[in-house]
Amino acid sequence: MLQEPQLQSLLLIEKHRKLEICFNDALLRKGYTVLQVKSGGEGLVSLNGFRPDVIVINAASLRTNGLRICSWYHNRLPSVPIILIVAEDEPIADAEWVDVIMHLPFTVKKLINRLRSFVPTLNQDFLVRGPLQLNPKTRMVTYYEKSSYLTPRLSMLLKIFMENPLKPLTREELFKQVWETDYTEDTRTLDVHISWLRKALEEDNTNPQLIKTVRGVGYKLDL
């Protein structure tokens, strides 16, 4: 039986504003322990008696890009992951002190998927990325309520994606690793296996939301 991810304690820096998405109540309903503060400075004071597993900074609610606040927390707790939430039009693609940058709008479900990616598993036999769980030994995969057994190559393929989340992987490097060959002139076999993997995981494999095609490159796990 696959192991459920452990729930986490979160430091949420978020200022409630009317007509804007706030995440505190939704995270509490999902069972997370949430310490919500209204400013970066208030959050730093809270760290004297509280150590979060993840820090979530809703910079959009603070009317800032959040980068300065992220640097404070990175310097104070360099091993604690930081998720930065910014406005839709905020031109931030990457930042030195941030693990995940999320542009509004998005659902609470997507935020929880990102949070789950930081949950360590007690059983090292399992790979966990958000709601996606793989046991490489038995080749059993579970994605939300859907479970199935994969072939050895499909299991290896998914393992590579889970070890490189959000990273575009070329067809050539995937083919080399899964088929253990330097011949990469014809990767159509890989494309067929990607199709089979999508059928095993996706609700609608014709409109994949998990394993996405990166045009001109290859594929990536969007989780």
Report the amino acid identity of residue 38: K
CATH of 9-116, one of 3.40.50.1820, 3.10.180.10, 3.40.50.2300, 1.10.1040.50: 3.40.50.2300
| Helices 152-163 & 171-179 angle (0-180, nearest 10) | 130
Q: How far apart are CA 19 and CA 81, in angstroms?
A: 28
Q: What is the DSSP letter of 6?
A: P
**pLDDT number for residue 57:** 95
Q: Does domain 127-221 have CATH number 1.10.10.10?
A: yes
Residue of 63, 52, 60, 65 whose CA lies nearest to 11: 52
Query: Locate tokens 């929880």: which residue?
Result: 112
Provide the pLDDT confidence category of residue 151 given band limits of 50, 70 and 90.
confident
Which tokens go with 162?
A: 């889970």
Domain ranges of the chain: 9-116, 127-221
At 180, the pLDDT band (50, 70, 90 cuts) reads: confident
Residue 185 burial (10 A CB sphere; 0-12, 13-18, 19+): exposed
Global pTM value: 0.54
- pLDDT tens digit string along 86-114? 998 888 766 777 888 899 989 888 898 88
